[in-house]
Amino acid sequence: MACRGRPCCTILRRFRAVTEMTLRRRCDGDNVYQTLKDRLRDALARHIAFAYHVDMDVTLERPPRIEMGEAASPLCFELAKRLKKAPRILAQEIANALPEVAGIERIEVAGAGYLNAYFARGAFWADLAKEEKSGESNPGSGTGGGKIIVEHTSINPNKAAHIGHVRNAVLGDTLVRILRHAGRRVQVQNYIDNTGVQVADVVIGLLWMEKRTPVSVKMMAMEPHFDYDCWDIYAKATQFFAADQAQATKLRGETLRAIEEGRGEEAEVAEVVADAIVTFHLRTMARLGIHYDLLARESEILHLKFWDAAFEMLKKSGAIVLATTGKMAGCWIMPAEKESADVKCGEEATETAADDGDDEDNMQDKIIVRSNGTVTYVGKDIAYQLWKFGLLGKDFKYAKWKGAPPEETVWATTSLKSDQQAPNFGAPATTVYNVIDARQAYLQNVVAQGLRALGHAKEAEHSIHFAYEIVALTPRCAAELGYELTEEEAKKPYVEVSGRRGHGVKADDLIDKLEAATMQEVRERHAEMSEAEQVQTAHIIAVGALRYFLLKFTRNSIIAFDFADALSFEGETGPYCQYAVVRIRGIRRKGLETVGAAIGAVSTETASALLGGTAGNDLWELLLLAGSLDQAAELAISGQEPAFVATYAFRLAQAFNLFYHKFHILSEPDEQKRGFLLGLTEVVERQLLTALSLLGIEAPEKM
């Protein structure tokens, strides 16, 4: 009896975990494909442990062609190595001896030893169609697992949002939608750096360069293009500073300090600017269907002594030290993490050697508190991260944000008195996603290092830098916008936007342009629509085009933005996916008129017959894909890649279009078959709409 020792216990424990996971998944939605895969994996693992006493991770994949089944495992190759038997023989043994798995029709051996599983197509149909009738969908506010915080957008409140900010917000918002779909409890936060250098620069631009009074700034802030005005002022201010660095340092220092301490005209103007710009940002993002639960403001981190608390913790633990010599003298710094820290054993051997020669200028150390006593962004972010995980022992006060978009409640932190109705934002999170661009990886590491130094290694691990690459411009696009490029820049595949030079595509300009382009198309195609309908339709298509465009790239791909691409509505685009839905709706409208289109109940037998064999492959592939939505969503979460859902939506739309051209649904003479085709169309519509909703994209009735 080999099955007695410790390994076996491990195996059993693992099964229990796997089974529980499978059960949990089974309850939470329309994941037919996922469920079958889990069952198969479970059955194979059990069988192998039982028959061969081997504990193995069972990998499952999609075979290259549908004739080879719906799920396949190459596990026999691995098993063959361990048992020193031929893989094909093992595969045959397993295929013969594996107990029946619900929903799986048969298992065959293929190639050099693959195990190919064939799903019971009729049953798959019945499962998917049944869910449709019950109308059960995933609850938006799941209870599964602990609280998750997604922080995204977090734009400096000193100028209008640009295309790069939109990528951040769209990625974050999509992540939130996918997590919620999967039943996770998610809170959305938008960090407002209202006491930072960028706001200070605009304040200096207004007060010092333009000689404005606080009253005139207040008037200005009420103008509809204040965010655009600030865009220009910021560009001018940075140019001015570049010309006179000494003055810049002095002015910035003074202004920053005044803002932090909340005194004088500087603080007054900073508040006016930041509050107004945040409201502009909220409005811009609302156009794209992006909303927030909480605006976490940096001013409160200071005023409510969050930083002071964190500062004490950091000092006490020795995570930060006061530099007394070198050019960082007078600063509190976090020393660079020693690489050898993760070498667990035998470290003493290396310890004796003198580190290096140039330790006097502590290059790798990160300044947390400047010599003038002000705190850097990293310091404030450490305090903020500690609060997110409930480790600070303090909480914000909360009030409704006055500048929230219409019919929307947005909460914000405040130093004044707290609104009793405010949700419990201070409840500790178990996982935090910080959607921040890839260039800030170093700073995010320093923040994580701070958490670890305070003994919160687990939280540091669950604080995920959801990094993404920048949105740049193609040289052609930059030229179109009238930017002067150096010869070197013109040769590159893309040109980075620059707030300093005032270069960039403003979010609202882009949305306006997209809406104008879609409006023109809608007018041409649908003269019968009312103006309001046309506007609404154009808006939905424009948002679909933009969000899809930003989501189809994986996170670490640099997007070289070009109006030609973003304004394209053909091929792999949002409108393509929306068009598939519109076609389905067209069929339904027409069907109601002509056939009476009673979808009625399609028996499993009928479905099975239509889906079976080579003749049914086309229909089956569409159905299978429609049933794989949650598989795509789970993959997007585990792989931290919202693009997977975008790809899924496109592939489903594509598969539907193929089906649409092959089968004439309404003119199908066989009533049973017509009912089935209509039913299949309904399933596809539901799944496609859900997939698009995860991307924050709606589908219009007509387009």
Partner RNA sequence: GCGCCUGUAGCUCAGCUGGAUAGAGCGUUAGCCUCCGAAGCUAAAGGUCGUGAGUUCGAACCUCACCAGGCGCACCA
Among the listed ranges 137-145, 350-358, 490-498, 503-511, the one in contact with RNA (CB under 7 A) is: 490-498
Per-residue x/- marks for RNA, 492-531, CB under 7 A? xx--x---------------------x--xx--xx-----
Residue 688 touching RNA (CB under 7 A): no
Residue 506 structure tokens: 């403003």
Site for RNA in 218-237 (CB under 7 A): none
Residue 642 touching RNA (CB under 7 A): no
Among the listed ranges 206-214, 414-422, 585-593, 611-619, the one in contact with RNA (CB under 7 A) is: 585-593
Q: For RNA, which residue of 583, 612, 617, 693 counts as binding (CB under 7 A)? A: 583
SS3 166: helix
Residue 216 structure tokens: 């005139």
Site for RNA in 411-470 (CB under 7 A): 438-443, 469
Q: How far is CA 482 from CA 240, 476, 677, in A?
A: 22, 10, 53
The amino acid occupying position 385 is: Q
Quick one: which of 175, 41, 28 has its CA closest to 103? 41
Residue 54 touching RNA (CB under 7 A): no
Q: How far is the CB of 138 from RNA (least distance, A)?
A: 21
Q: How far is CA 69 from CA 64, 448, 702, in A?
A: 9, 45, 37
Contact 201, 256 (CB under 8 A): no
The C-alpha atoms of residue 156 and residue 477 are separated, in whole angstroms, by 25
Q: How far is the CB of 461 from RNA (least distance, A)?
A: 15
Q: Which residue's CB is nearer to RNA, number 389 or number 644?
A: 644
Site for RNA in 177-216 (CB under 7 A): 193, 196-198
Which residues, in sequence order, are bridge partners of residue 104? 119
Q: Which residues of 146-169 are buried (b: 16+ CB within 10 A; e: fewer)?
A: ebbbbbbbbbbbbbbbbbbbbbbb
The C-alpha atoms of residue 224 and residue 521 are separated, in whole angstroms, by 28
The C-alpha atoms of residue 630 and residue 30 are separated, in whole angstroms, by 7
Q: How far is the CB of 150 from RNA (least distance, A)?
A: 18
Residue 260 structure tokens: 């932090």
Residue 329 touching RNA (CB under 7 A): yes
The C-alpha atoms of residue 473 and residue 482 are separated, in whole angstroms, by 12
> HSE on the CB side for 407, CA within 13 Å?
2
Q: Which residue's CB is nearer to RNA, number 293 or number 572?
A: 572
Q: How far is the CB of 395 from RNA (least distance, A)?
A: 22
Residue 363 touching RNA (CB under 7 A): yes
Residue 643 touching RNA (CB under 7 A): yes
Residue 639 touching RNA (CB under 7 A): yes
Residue 667 touching RNA (CB under 7 A): yes
The C-alpha atoms of residue 71 and residue 371 are separated, in whole angstroms, by 62
Q: For RNA, which residue of 176, 206, 514, 703 counts as binding (CB under 7 A)? A: 703
Q: For RNA, which residue of 61, 100, 136, 605 counts as binding (CB under 7 A)? A: 61
Residue 330 touching RNA (CB under 7 A): yes
Q: For RNA, which residue of 270, 294, 559, 625 counts as binding (CB under 7 A)? A: 559
Residue 68 touching RNA (CB under 7 A): yes
Residue 370 touching RNA (CB under 7 A): yes
Q: Which residue's CB is nearer to RNA, number 380 or number 404?
A: 380
Q: How far is the CB of 608 from RNA (least distance, A)?
A: 23
Contact 544, 577 (CB under 8 A): yes
Residue 81 touching RNA (CB under 7 A): yes
SS3 409: coil
